[in-house]
Amino acid sequence: MTRRFSGIKPSGEMHLGNYAGAVQRWVDLQDDSIYCVVDLHAMTVPYEPAALQADSRRLAMLLMAAGLDPQRCVLFVQSQVPVVAELTWILNCVATVGELRRMTQFKDKDSGQESVSAGLLDYPVLMAADILLYGTEEVPVGEDQIQHVELTRDLAIRFNHRFGDTLVVPKATVPPVGARIKDLQDPTAKMSKSVDSPQGTILVLDEPARITKKIKAAVTDSDTTVRFDTENKPGISNLLSLLAAATGRPIPDLEAEYATGGYGTFKAAVAEAVVDYLAPLREQFSLLENEPGEVTRLLAEGAAKADAIAQKTITRVRAATGLLARS
């Protein structure tokens, strides 16, 4: 079995892009996999402490509702296995400031700001610690995270070279292109948690009527043909991607079915499919909401399983790097 690890930030509500582009894949590949709500990563930018706690639980519940089964995979909240901070420190002494400054995500978030936290620069080292602590072989991520996984590989190789073969060198696995869901109001930008576009973002827990309203108001074009052409018809192409994700049907089939029926009929079909697609998740989520004690217990169990794996790695890392054994 291949050991997989991936993480998602508890900043803002889960949207359809996260669900269709990442979480569904996690659910399909959950055996022998470890999935993590990365609350420590969410602290790298300004945030509300009370909201972070609530958001971390809520995201974990959404992941369970989406189909991650704590009997089949390890699902936990990052900070509940604190040894990751210890490995981050050790890797900080392997990483260079220069390579961290070159990370695109850091450059994007840093630019135009008067001051950013040291944590923002260190974000990819914490991510490397996540990945390396659990002996990860494959990291399912979106395209935007490939650079961070490459850095993780470099750090693991450098560590092994300096201290002897200790860490597993992982690789990124990226979903096929087309899996990117775009903003309904600006179909050239990705649907995103951190960009304020409430009408352009479908949240997985949006009421059906709200989902329908947003899809009907989606930006399209002045043509009338339903055709997949991201260059000239980004809005319609995005709706086709949504329909494909929601129904599991290939885009050419959908083009053939809706080509000439008009945008109104097409949008109504997309709305209905997306509502149906998200219905089981809403249902499962509300069941979990009624069982807060059970959620706490499942998360504690997940953290204990993750910690058992982590302790083995950190013991080897401490010995290799010349730290005294803990008595």
Could you say which of 77, 139, 239, 274 contacts ligand LTN (CB under 6 A)?
A: 139
Q: What whole-number distance in Å separates Cα of residue 230 and Cα of residue 209?
A: 27
Residue 194 interacts, among ligand LTN, ligand ATP, none and using kind-specific CB cut-offs from 5 to 8 Å, with ligand ATP
Per-residue x/- track, 174-213, ligand ATP (CB under 6 A) = -----xxx--------xxxxx-------------------
Contact between 9 and ligand LTN by CB under 6 A: the answer reads: yes
Tell me which residue has its CB nearest to ligand LTN.
Answer: 7
Give the side-chain half-sphere CA count within 13 A for 234.
13
Q: What whole-number distance in Å separates Cα of residue 145 and Cα of residue 167?
A: 20
The angle at the Cα of 231, spanning 228 to 234, to the nearest 5 degrees, equals: 60
Which residues does 73 contact at the CB level (< 8 Å), separation at least 6?
26, 30, 31, 32, 33, 34, 35
Residue 131 interacts, among ligand ATP, ligand LTN, none and using kind-specific CB cut-offs from 5 to 8 Å, with ligand LTN
Residue 193 interacts, among ligand ATP, ligand LTN, none and using kind-specific CB cut-offs from 5 to 8 Å, with ligand ATP
Sign of CA dihedral 307, 117, 14, 149: negative
Which residues does 66 contact at the CB level (< 8 Å), separation at least 6?
19, 23, 24, 27, 204, 281, 284
For the bound state, the minimum distance from the C-beta of residue 313 to ligand LTN, rounded and expressed in Å, comes to 15
Could you say which of 17, 200, 234, 302 contacts ligand ATP (CB under 6 A)?
A: 17
Contact between 5 and ligand LTN by CB under 6 A: the answer reads: yes
- Among residues 9, 107, 109, 213, the one annotated as catalytic is 109
Residue 298: count other Cβ atoms within 10 Å of its Cβ: 19
Q: Which residues form the interface with ligand LTN (CB under 6 A)?
A: 5-7, 9, 38, 41, 127, 130-131, 139, 141, 145, 148
Q: Which residues are catalytic?
A: 109, 190, 193
